[in-house]
Structure 1
């Protein structure tokens, strides 16, 4: 694999990563209700999902989808249902009573392990990530004498994608978490509004997936 191709891929991935998408919205939403650490952990979960997508793509996931298109619809349905579940949990949390004293001191408790698992599953359940991998990465593959095996090229490009994308996502999580910490100290009304906005984000992402089901 030529260095020029890898550098071109790095530039392309950077611009793809800084454009807000479903993954970044999910990270920001978790950071808004869980703080800076939740934002970084959510970014790590997304990167874990991308690692799984990388391995799957390198092992021929594209061939499976072409042979059985209904698999992709199944992923869409699962992803939409999961995001609706997250929207429900977040909306329910916004309706819980929190004392003004306790609310002014800290953000609502969120299990970082649960945040990580949710982020990973959300990424895995997003068929647009699968399609993106299958459409984007092959543009940077090389063939012919002296070329690396295609499987190895997929793995390398996927690793580069994660190495470039994770700092961008983590930075977004840190920024959103820092802002949320300040806003949550304003009182329970602000907390509830933030969590309802996050529930709306999860619902919108679910609707976006459901719209692609056919």
Structure 2
């Protein structure tokens, strides 16, 4: 796997991870209800869900692409369409008001173990995470002579996804412990800008997928 591909994936994942989404809202809500430790545990649960998605994609979709490389074109077509849809949703969200933390679900206090399990299941049960993962990661998969096995590429990129995403989510949890209201109100303008950048990234990735189809 080319180092430039991994670095490009790392940058893209970081930009995507810093934009508040459903997973981050869940983490922030837990941090606000149970404190910093609870929020970090929720972030760990979300990362565990991503790890499961990574392994499932590597063993299933990866093996299929290895056996029939043309399948990757079908995945790219579907991925391009979904990324364009995400670009539209993200851009539209950037034009809407984002309220204070009371907009996040109010959660009762629960044990750290239960918080971890609930966060993992929340991530696993979210079909958008599955679709996003299958749309986003395959564009960084390379085939042909000299390429790593597709299954291994999925696992490596999945690990990068988690290594980048978890610190971002954990940082949000730590901030939410004491600065939740201030962070969301003062960061509204920044959030809009980040979402617009992310929408542009989604659209650009969709264009790249379309160009790579052959």
Shared fold (TM-score, shorter chain, > 0.5): yes
Check if 1:168 corresponds to 2:164. no
| Cα distance in 2 for residues equivalent to 1:110 and 1:126 | 21
- How far apart are the structure 2 equivalents of 1:61 and 1:113? 31
Equivalent residue number for residue 192 of structure 1: none
Which consecutive unaligned segments of at least 5 residues does structure 2 have?
Answer: 65-73, 75-104, 181-214
Equivalent position of 1:58 in the other structure = 58
CA displacement, residues 185-213 of structure 1 (integer Å, 9 cap, x when unaligned): xxxxxxxxxxxxxxxxxxxxxxxxxxxxx
Partner in structure 2 of residue 16 of structure 1? 16
Q: Secondary structure at the match of 1:142?
A: coil
Give me the TM-score of the superposition, normalised by structure 1. Answer: 0.62
- Cα gap change, 1:169 to 1:4, in 2 (>3 Å): same
Mapped to 2, the partners of 1:119 and 1:130 lie a distance apart of 15
Separation in 1 of the partners of 2:121 and 2:45?
8
Q: Which runs of 4+ in 1 moved over 3 A?
A: none
**C-alpha distance in 1 between matches for 2:134 and 2:123:** 15
Shift of 1:178: 2.3
TM-superposed deviation, 1:60? 1.7
Cα distance between partner residues in 2 of 1:23 and 1:54: 17
What are the ranges of 5 or more consecutive residues in structure 1 without an aligned counterpart? 67-86, 94-108, 181-214
Could you tell me how far apart the structure 2 residues matched to 1:47 and 1:6 are? 19
Cα shift at 1:179: 3.3
For the residue of structure 2 that corresponds to 1:143, the secondary structure is: coil
CA distance in 2, matches of 1:57, 1:28: 28
The residue that corresponds to 1:135 in the other structure is 135
Give the aligned partner of residue 4 of structure 2: 4
CA shift digits 1:138-177 (9 cap, x unpaired): 0100111010000000000000000000000000001111
Note the C-alpha offset of 1:110.
3.0
What's the counterpart of residue 44 of structure 1?
Answer: 44
* TM superposition shift of 1:59: 1.6
How many residues end up aligned between the 2 structures?
142
Deviations 1:44-65 (A, max 9, x none): 00000000000011122597xx
